Structure 1
């Protein structure tokens, strides 16, 4: 009888520990930013997108309550570094950002330059672009585009040829009205434009980065509010979602299968 009581007690203790671990992440605040297929408003006005679906699934599997908010990327970075936000999405790791957050990758992207169709067709490279002083490019403030593009953009900034937009919609407005003749965009950014009648056929997609110049995005978890043990659980959950095909299905929900497959190369 005694061994059975001990066993029952051990099982109860283990189940209690498991329950505590299951609810250990509690209530977290996640900030999203509007961008292409990553986060956008559906026809019914509700927010949707790859980033939202990833966070929703992570929350479901880990038993978290993750409270969403929408803001500009600049304010999100300020909130993360200042401790008013617990996590955000599709973040690119840099040494500066790693000081206040841990990045858990879930997608690999590639940056492209979108040129207006009436831009000189002889512009076929970064150097061609720099050599034409009459064209400018729009980017989203605080975005990172990989070493090669970031170095190129710095050269253009020195010439006053880069417009920093606060968000995706503002950048596209600059492009549509001709304030800039080019914009930087990842595939999940320009893919939705193909469906817009007023945008389709109005631009050329230029791939000027080296083949291995991928940009890896992930959840960024505040070091101030998310401890290392919980960050490991996030990483394990994302890994499981990749292995069981969930990430692929999420990507295909918002992109075509070919682009969706490329996002898994992280």
Structure 2
């Protein structure tokens, strides 16, 4: 009996000693920040949805790396990426300023078409010269890049009438209430958010039954997965790029994009 009792104690002690080692060896998930940017990445019924989300999930599944998504406002997410409080951020455009603290994926997640949006019936035309519209007010998102052409004109103070807000819903309300003349936004995202707001019968939208995307686009931008340089994740980035290449080669990347049905997200709430 004494032998069995001592054996049981020994097994218990070994188990207790091994538990911390096992727990500490478990790989913590990469924290991936995203902003509410339907239909590319957003939350619905406490689930993370969107075409970019599905692509990222499949790529990290292939390299056997655990991940967790966190919905964070745009400016805060960029700051946290810079300081290493998050590991990765979804859908970030390349800029010289961001290259200092971001390692970008080689393959883009999506291609953004940046347009000028006006209310239906507005007597505003775009002839590829934004300076001809400098007397009008532009609604833009805080800390958001709209491409070198627009950004450079702002930096040179050739476009000065900017109405800055945190998101497309707020900017669309300002457009429809006459606070701004133009909203600058990615076409698919802006039209999606406007349709969602319209379904909610926002009284502020009564002035404009529809919004119009002026053509041509002012910029076509590639959005990437951004890795924090602070957290030294270049080895993960390389693996992610390899997974993306294999997804493109075997057709799964194309299938994810083609199988995505925007109408299936009709119950989604608008982003903020």
TM superposition score category, shorter chain reference: 0.7 to 0.9
How far apart are 1:30 and its partner, in Å? 0.8
How far apart are 1:28 and its partner, in Å? 0.8
How far apart are 1:239 and its partner, in Å? 1.8
Structure 1: stretches of 5+ with no match in the other structure: 1-22, 257-266
What is aligned with 2:16? none
Question: Partners in 2 of 1:242 and 1:191 — Cα distance?
Answer: 28
Give the alignment of 1:175-194 within 5 angstroms. Answer: 175-193=175-193
Instruction: Provide Cα deviations, 1:160-186, integer angstroms capped at 9, x if missing partner.
Output: 411111123333332333322221122
Asked whether the 8 Å contact 1:26–1:64 carries over to 2, the reply is: no
Q: How many residues align?
A: 228
Asked whether the 8 Å contact 1:149–1:209 carries over to 2, the reply is: no
What is aligned with 2:120? 117
Question: Partners in 2 of 1:74 and 1:227 — Cα distance?
Answer: 21
Deviates more, 1:30-39 or 1:193-202: 193-202
1:163 paired with 2:163, answer yes
What is aligned with 1:214? 220
What is aligned with 2:55? 54
How far apart are 1:230 and its partner, in Å? 1.9
Asked whether the 8 Å contact 1:38–1:188 carries over to 2, the reply is: no
Which has the larger Rg?
Answer: 2
What is aligned with 1:224? 230
What is aligned with 1:40? 42
Could you tell me which of 190, 193, 203 is aligned with 2:211?
203
Asked whether the 8 Å contact 2:62–2:243 carries over to 1, the reply is: yes
1:100 paired with 2:101, answer yes
Question: Partners in 2 of 1:217 and 1:247 — Cα distance?
Answer: 16
What is aligned with 1:250? 256
Change (3 A) 1:241 1:74: same
Question: Partners in 2 of 1:158 and 1:32 — Cα distance?
Answer: 32
Question: Partners in 1 of 2:57 and 2:217 — Cα distance?
Answer: 33
- What secondary structure does 1:214 align onto? strand
- What secondary structure does 2:189 align onto? helix
Question: Partners in 1 of 2:97 and 2:75 — Cα distance?
Answer: 14
Asked whether the 8 Å contact 1:92–1:218 carries over to 2, the reply is: yes
RMSD (CA atoms): 2.9
What is aligned with 1:238? 244
Question: Partners in 1 of 2:197 and 2:101 — Cα distance?
Answer: 42
Instruction: Provide Cα deviations, 1:133-170, integer angstroms capped at 9, x if missing partner.
Output: 3x322111111121122234446x66641111112333
Could you tell me which of 8, 30, 33 is aligned with 2:32?
30
TM-score, normalisation: structure 1: 0.73
Asked whether the 8 Å contact 1:109–1:216 carries over to 2, the reply is: yes
TM-score, normalisation: structure 2: 0.72
Asked whether the 8 Å contact 2:29–2:65 carries over to 1, the reply is: yes
